[in-house]
Amino acid sequence: MIESMKPRQAKLERKTNETKISAEIILDQKAKRSIDTGIGFFDHMLDHLSKHSGISLSVKAKGDLDVDYHHTVEDVGIVLGELLQQALGDNRGIARYGSVSVPMEETLADCAIDLCGRGNLVYNVPVTQPKVGEFDSELGHDFFQAISRSGKFCLHLNIRYGQNQHHILEALFKAFAQALKQAISLTGSDTIPSTKGIL
């Protein structure tokens, strides 16, 4: 870490009529994970996100799961995007870009990230099954849309091929984690990686 840089970490609480979320991330620390959203499969995916990005992640969410899982998944995405922005600050010294392909069994997932200050999602992902357990498969899109918008970064997710919906979603989260790990890594420079001088 560049000596003059503050620790890259952030903490946030968000409360609405639908969800109550408290979360914390630390970018430059061996990944520690404490995740409880009340949604087993989603917890499993966030666990992968933390493990494979190297980001320490604490998430406690209580949502209206009696309605469905959408509000909780989307709001966690919003919170994590905001935390990432706060922890990165002005993005000084980061690599900015990350790109990776991750295989999982019969599935191959591609992810590319640009921490550019503009939120955008391209999501070319088949839905081969409507649910994984009780988790609606379409919620993968909702999570990545929320985190990329609130985190203000450009995110491209593509499945080249795959059949099993669990494998498809898990490969996406792992690919996202690995690409994010590259993008947030420190290059040793103290400059902002843009000709504009700002991201």
What digits encode the pLDDT tens for the residues 148-182?
999 999 999 999 999 999 999 999 999 999 999 99
Q: What is the pLDDT of residue 1?
A: 42
Report phi then psi at 165, rounded to 5.
-65, -35
Q: Tell whether 198 is covered by a domain.
A: no
> How large is the average pLDDT for residues 65-92?
97
Amino acid at 108: L
Q: Tell whether 194 is covered by a domain.
A: no
Domain that holds residue 53: 9-184
Report phi then psi at 131, rounded to 5.
-140, 150
Q: Tell whether 191 is covered by a domain.
A: no
Q: Tell whether 4 is covered by a domain.
A: no
Angstrom distances, CA of residue 15 to CA of 75, 153, 199: 9, 24, 28
Quick check: helix, strand or coil at residue 92? coil
Q: Tell whether 26 is covered by a domain.
A: yes
> How large is the average pLDDT for residues 22-50?
96
CA distance 157 to 110: 6
Q: Tell whether 141 is covered by a domain.
A: yes
- For strands 154-161 and 120-124, give the pairing: parallel
Is the pLDDT score of 63 beyond 60? yes
Q: Tell whether 66 is covered by a domain.
A: yes
CATH number (domain holding residue 147): 3.30.230.40
Tally the domains of the chain: 1
Q: Tell whether 3 is covered by a domain.
A: no
Mean pLDDT of the chain: 95
